[in-house]
Structure 1
Amino acid sequence: MTISMYQASVPVFTRLLGNCAAFLQKAEAYALTRDTDAYPLLEQRLAPDMFPLKIQVQILADGVRGCTARLARHELPAPDDWRFAVFNRGYHQDFHESEQSFATLIAYLRDTVDYLQTIRPEEINGTEELPVEVTWRGNTRHFQGLPFLRDYVLPNFYFHLTISYAILRIAGVPLGKQDFEGVPVYVSVPAS
């Protein structure tokens, strides 16, 4: 059995972005039960030189949108449009500041999931050797489809998702492993 480029990307991204939105909702509820402003949670970071939660989530959504747009060969508004950046912005000034609440971050994730739902499997399947370019700040990186997804996008995706989860966890939000994984999707196979 083989796994297709589509199966390795869009369903994974869709499911885990939904999980991220759910744990952001839990974080907002947590802040309300503690009778505190949720804004400090959005600014929380694991280390002083890391991006805060709100930027981690934005990177996550933009990276997914940028990956799938390139693999599906959709025309980008501009090669370095921030909504289609692919985990390649290392400077704080490279992020727009519109996502300032849990509600706007959740809406941003849901908008990304809506975009993913427009992607058809035939647009992405067979792109293992597709030339992929990622441009930011005048620098262009060149990939082929499979290494782009497997070696660049997926590790970055899981990194920013995990950091977002960890920031909330260390801040005291009552999250567990199932919040990260979501509803189990595995099938039990009877022993032979």
Structure 2
Amino acid sequence: MTHTEIAEMQRIFTSRLDTLAHILDVAEKQLTDMDAALQERLAPDMFPLGTQIAFACNQPLGFAQWCQGLPIQNLNPDVPSLALARAHIRDTKAMLADIQVDDSQLDKIKRTGLGPGMYCETSGRFYVSDYLIPNFYFHIATTYAILRKLGVPLGKADFMAFLLPHVQREA
């Protein structure tokens, strides 16, 4: 059995967590009080920046926990400091690096809680492609959008920073 698909998910999650860290680095250079910025929202009915970071980390963290046969335990959504946000990213990357399972894990049925009294049961592949990945990008994009709203000079190149190792210039 191969580890091809699992390894690809590890790579995707890790590289995008690096992008999330990069976005925070840019913001830290521009904003005078990042801890206060973590309480900012894109809209009144949306979660604040700190929670968006925790929720972004919850997606690959849940993947790592599921692959390792552990109960999925989400991070506390209250992220009052940049230090804690960075720790969440670092610790999530460490959990991803520790995954030691073959691709047959993706054929297993995964029960996913969707809120009080609601859940769905899907294959692991569906869980990853149709639940984790869209949620992961949603929370990273929302983090980006909140920081843009706060005046942080982020561009698409920052959001797509994971492509930099592959960028070439024509002669």
> Which whole-Å CA distance do the structure 1 matches of 2:52 and 2:44 have between them?
14
The equivalent of 1:105 in structure 2 is 85
SS at match of 1:6: helix
Cα deviation, residue 155, structure 1? 0.9
Cα deviation, residue 108, structure 1? 1.0
RMSD (CA atoms): 2.4
> Does the Cα contact within 8 Å between 2:39 and 2:48 map onto a contact in 1?
yes
> Does the Cα contact within 8 Å between 2:59 and 2:133 map onto a contact in 1?
no
The equivalent of 2:74 in structure 1 is 82
1:129-179 C-alpha deviation (Å, 9 max, x unpaired) = 211122465644311111111111111111111111111112111212222
> Which whole-Å CA distance do the structure 1 matches of 2:134 and 2:77 have between them?
23
Identity, % of aligned positions: 32
SS at match of 1:169: helix
Unaligned runs of 5+ in 1: 84-94
TM-score with structure 2 length normalisation? 0.84
> Which whole-Å CA distance do the structure 2 matches of 1:176 and 1:140 have between them?
36
Q: Where has structure 1 moved over 6 Å in runs of 4 or more?
A: none
Unaligned runs of 5+ in 2: none
Instruction: Give runs of aligned pairs for residues 155-166 of structure 1, distance below 5 A.
Output: 155-166=134-145
SS at match of 2:154: coil
SS at match of 1:48: coil
The equivalent of 1:23 in structure 2 is 23
Alpha carbons of structure 1 residues 96 and 163: separation in structure 2 relative to 1, 3 Å: closer
> Does the Cα contact within 8 Å between 2:109 and 2:122 map onto a contact in 1?
yes
Cα deviation, residue 4, structure 1? 4.1
Which has a greater percent of helix?
Answer: 2
Matched, 1:119 2:109: no
